[in-house]
């Protein structure tokens, strides 16, 4: 099965959605990821957290 990952990163939160060809399977939210506002380290942490949580909720390793 093919999965798709979408990320919306901003100054207050980061949202990650995991889905297949027909629907969203899981959505997760983490901290801010606007690199100008929070810096590179926080941006990386927020992106990783959102992706890991969404994949875990979807049952994807």
β-strands 14-19, 4-9 pairing:
antiparallel
Residue by residue, pLDDT tens for the chain (61 residues) are: 899 999 999 999 999 999 999 999 999 999 999 999 999 999 999 999 999 999 999 999 8
> What is the per-residue pLDDT for 9?
97
Decide if domain 4-58 falls under CATH 3.40.50.1860: no
Q: Is 38 exposed, middle or buried (0-12, 13-18, 19+ CB in 10 A)?
A: middle
What is the residue extent of each domain of the chain?
4-58
């Amino acid at each position: 099965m093919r999965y798709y990952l979408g990320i919306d990163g901003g100054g207050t939160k980061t949202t990650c959605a995991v889905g297949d060809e027909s629907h969203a399977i899981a959505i997760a939210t983490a901290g801010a990821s606007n690199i100008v506002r929070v810096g590179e380290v926080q941006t990386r942490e927020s992106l990783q957290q959102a992706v890991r949580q969404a994949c875990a909720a979807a049952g994807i390793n």
